[in-house]
Structure 1
Amino acid sequence: MLLRVTPLRYNEDSNFPLVSMRSLSPVVWSEGMYLGPHHFQAQNRYFEDSIRFATSALWFENSGLVGGEIHAEALENGTIALLHARGVFPDGLVFHMPESDPLPAPRPMGDLFPPTRDKVTIFLAVPARKPNGLNCALDEREAGEARFLAETRTLHDETTGRDEKSVRLGRKNIRLLLDTEPSGGLVTLPVARVMRSGSGRFLPDPSFIPPCVQLSASARLMSMLGRLIEILEERSAEFSLAGGERPSFSTQELARFWFLHTINAALAPLRHLYYSKRGHPEELFVEMSRLGGALCTFALESHPRDLPVYDHQRLGECFDALDLHIRRHLEMIIPTNCLKIPLKAEEKYFYSGEVRDQRCLGRSTWVFAVGDGGGEAEVISKTPLLVKICSRAFVPELVKRALPGFSLTHLQTPPSAIATRPGTQYFSISKSGPCWDHIVKTRQVGVYVPGEFAEPEVELLVVIDS
């Protein structure tokens, strides 16, 4: 089988320079040669283009933001300005503002935001390097089309720490640009999207994900990843075998194990990306695509070919589609409106659990399930009197002072979202009072089941209101 190799072609709409513009030939130095600015400029271009060529060959999509933040107060007053930004332009020019490079001048939004549009994209822009033209302006009045502007700084001799000299350095001629303005001759990098509210005020669009080379550059990507990890951890807890439970290896049990394997295999690398925060968005997209493709196994009308492809210039669109695919397929396997808060035994008679899913603290119904192999009537009567449920920190004090926790009411018919088990009784939990307030604050739940229950099997379930 022969593989066809397609020649590399550059997107006409991209900001990548043509290969012919790169200078990959070093200057030849020889004794007695006359030195002029051209020699050092050519050597500098050789170093820059060699580094750019190597990084673009070794790493995929190596341009974008490393971090950045819009001045929110200025935007509310109709002006777009940056607090800080750092990253790499598509042609390889790096920037770190304001630490190494000055922030671009703020721009008023009023006259540049068309009344017919509700969103405008904001770019960082810098003049492209001209192979045979002016790239550094000595006079600020000529800085319009120049890539750099010469400015004088006083530097010390690094060997002696003395001997100050005035040295002219090139300041990057970076500016803010809106997508309503012409961008000819400029290299641009999207940094934000601004939308107009119903009252006419300007606000940053929270759904926008700029091209970036680190996950931490986008609060939206980090939020999406954190939410996905919470859901996967919840599913993993729901499908894991309870302590002492033995697998039956039935057909249904095998499907359960495969689904649990799919979740746990994805959870570990996703957690690493979330806590390291330095991964490239493509790394996250690969892990999410692997999970999305595996979940297609459990859906009859789904195939990995339908998954979105990675688009570095439209990260919001491709990540939104992939995230929606994953969450929908997780719901196909088990309804997401019934969640389980895993309880672990701490001391004798005491259990604790962590509320990982934020939805549990919103509009929801909490249900306590208990079974001990005793008589049904006995369990129904003694559970509301003896079992105490509150925040983890409060339960020991309630036991010491013989005070009640949440009020428990037996449910003759549990909510339909709950998969009931024979021999188990279900009780609704009243979410009110200091116990609930402290659970919302700490996200920690405590349960006390006294010795009157011989071998209790307890569960804490949450049904999310639709």
Structure 2
Amino acid sequence: MTIQGDVHWQEGLFLQPQHLQWMQRSLATKTSAERRLSRPYPFGVIEAEMSADQLANGFVGFSKLRAVMPSGVMVDVPRTTDLPVVSIKKAFEAARGSLLVSLAVPLWSEVSGNAVVDTGNEEWQVKRIYKVVETEATDENTGENAQPINVRRINARLILEGDDTADMEVLPLARIKPGIGGDAGLYSQDSSFVPPCLTLTGSSFLRDELVGIANAAQAMSSNLHLQLAPSAFRGSEHERLLHVLRLRSLNSFGARLLSLVDAPAVTPHDVYLEMLSAWGELSALRPDLDPLDVPSYDHEQLGTCFLALIKALREAMKGSVRHRFIRAEFQLEGELLTLALTDEHLTAPTDYFLGLSTRLDPAELVSFVERGDRFKLMAPTTSKGKAVLGAQLAIEHAPPPSLPLQAGLHYFRIRHSEKDRMWQAIAKEKAMVIVAAQEDVADMSASLYMTVDDAEG
């Protein structure tokens, strides 16, 4: 709608319908302009209630729907807008998977008609933005003298993927899924689909996800508070400071987000900025996190960007990951260095490293161990076969920071895949041995280092 100015009212003006139409359109345009100035994303769903009974019978209809179209037109079903139901049965015969249902409103035209009179003959199919309906209005002063008046209602319609959208503006509303198995022939609304929303009330799914992350933040905050009690805390001052900073961020984020979610007219963009702020504070305490994992706000793909940010926040809220290790030393039994394993050794670790302390030249040691013919890590029952290969060992030049560093100590990563036959034998026998000539390992000590990840809080 383009308005070039307000009507100039003057004495003697011959009043015509165009004057009042111009004034009415001017007021609507100004309202839309104010909304655009006050909100960065001034369109989307405000509230929507789909009829479950109609959906069960293969029709999509809304008992209540409030939304603002991209042009600024307000759709309010059933107060000011008519919205006929749409059949989805035939569409699903040709569609694969889910089906997108959208709201469509004809565009206002400067050069052709914009209203169609309601005669009960499916005027919604006519691409005119208004439908003229006769109603009765009483004198609001006396409550009497009811008179018929014509009012304009928004002539909206529901459309499916592939329908004609020429001369109309469109707003996605819902995604419908077909039933499978015993539910074949039935239809359901995809609750995880999030349409563009003017306010957070436009998507119950998104609101529930936000309540979930806020509750998680408050639960972690309570747990962290207990850990920081003087009688319970065990750690350095540096670790204590990190805990305090994370507690501050969690306290603020959880309380603020719940307050925003409960507010009646908060926008998704406002909530997203709050979550980005929390992500910035929490990720600063986690240098291992990649800032590029957080997507930019996308008003037309709210589900995608919000779920990605929620996932990133849940990871950041865990705090830093501390690596502890378990060390088990090989003992000389006869001619073999032997190590017995426990259930914890086989289930808790994330990685296994063979630590060798020796005076050998590092390059010579690597060649000696990795060749696999003079030095083998094996299960006890397989150590007698000369042609049997041991577990695969590879020098680890950058071992995890938690492992001790000292002169003459070298780490070799042990391949422990479930597909590795030697590792399967070691796990089954709960023991491993080092097979090597005694003169080669005379001055060598060996230990198994097992790293275990512990997330703080």
- Establish whether TM, by shorter chain, passes 0.5: yes
Task: Tell me the equivalent position of 1:239.
Answer: 224
How far apart are residue 64 of structure 1 and its match?
Answer: 1.4
Task: Tell me the equivalent position of 1:151.
Answer: 133
Structure 2 counterparts to residues 310-389 of structure 1, below 5 A: 310-331=297-318, 333=320
Mapped partners of 1:168, 1:277: distance in 2:
33
Is 1:172 the counterpart of 2:154? The answer is yes
| 3-state SS of 1:172 partner | strand
Structure 2 counterparts to residues 290-329 of structure 1, below 5 A: 290-329=277-316
Structure 2: any 5+ residue segments left out of the alignment? 323-343, 350-457
Mapped partners of 2:4, 2:279: distance in 1:
42
Mapped partners of 2:81, 2:131: distance in 1:
12
Mapped partners of 2:318, 2:256: distance in 1:
22
> Which of 159, 163, 180 is equivalent to 1:198?
180
Task: Tell me the equivalent position of 1:279.
Answer: 266
Task: Tell me the equivalent position of 2:106.
Answer: 127
How far apart are residue 109 of structure 1 and its match?
Answer: 0.6
Mapped partners of 2:76, 2:95: distance in 1:
35
The one-letter amino acid of 2:37's match is: A
> Which of 215, 223, 239 is equivalent to 2:208?
223
Mapped partners of 1:64, 1:327: distance in 2:
28
Maintained 8 Å contact 1:209/1:218? yes
Maintained 8 Å contact 1:293/1:303? no
TM-score, normalised to structure 1, is 0.64
Structure 1: any 5+ residue segments left out of the alignment? 1-20, 336-412, 418-466
| 3-state SS of 2:47 partner | strand
Is 1:34 the counterpart of 2:21? The answer is no
Is 1:257 the counterpart of 2:244? The answer is yes
- Aligned-pair identity (%): 25
| 3-state SS of 1:154 partner | strand
Maintained 8 Å contact 1:64/1:90? yes
Mapped partners of 1:328, 1:25: distance in 2:
54
How far apart are residue 185 of structure 1 and its match?
Answer: 1.0
Q: Which has the larger radius of gyration?
A: 2
Is 1:109 the counterpart of 2:82? The answer is no
The one-letter amino acid of 2:270's match is: E
The alpha-carbon distance between structure 1 residues 298 and 54, as it changes in their structure 2 partners (threshold 3 A), is same
How many positions carry a matched residue from both structures?
A: 320
Maintained 8 Å contact 2:104/2:170? yes
Bigger strand share: 2
Mapped partners of 1:24, 1:321: distance in 2:
44
The alpha-carbon distance between structure 1 residues 48 and 321, as it changes in their structure 2 partners (threshold 3 A), is same
How far apart are residue 317 of structure 1 and its match?
Answer: 0.8
Is 1:209 the counterpart of 2:194? The answer is yes
Maintained 8 Å contact 1:236/1:263? yes
Is 1:58 the counterpart of 2:38? The answer is yes
Maintained 8 Å contact 2:75/2:81? no
TM-score, normalised to structure 2, is 0.65
Alignment deviations for residues 24-51 of structure 1 (CA, whole Å, 9 cap, x no partner): 5101111112211111111111111111
Alignment deviations for residues 216-263 of structure 1 (CA, whole Å, 9 cap, x no partner): 221111211111122111110121146564978711111111111221
How far apart are residue 197 of structure 1 and its match?
Answer: 2.9
Mapped partners of 1:293, 1:121: distance in 2:
35
Structure 2 counterparts to residues 7-46 of structure 1, below 5 A: 21-46=1-26
Mapped partners of 2:95, 2:76: distance in 1:
35
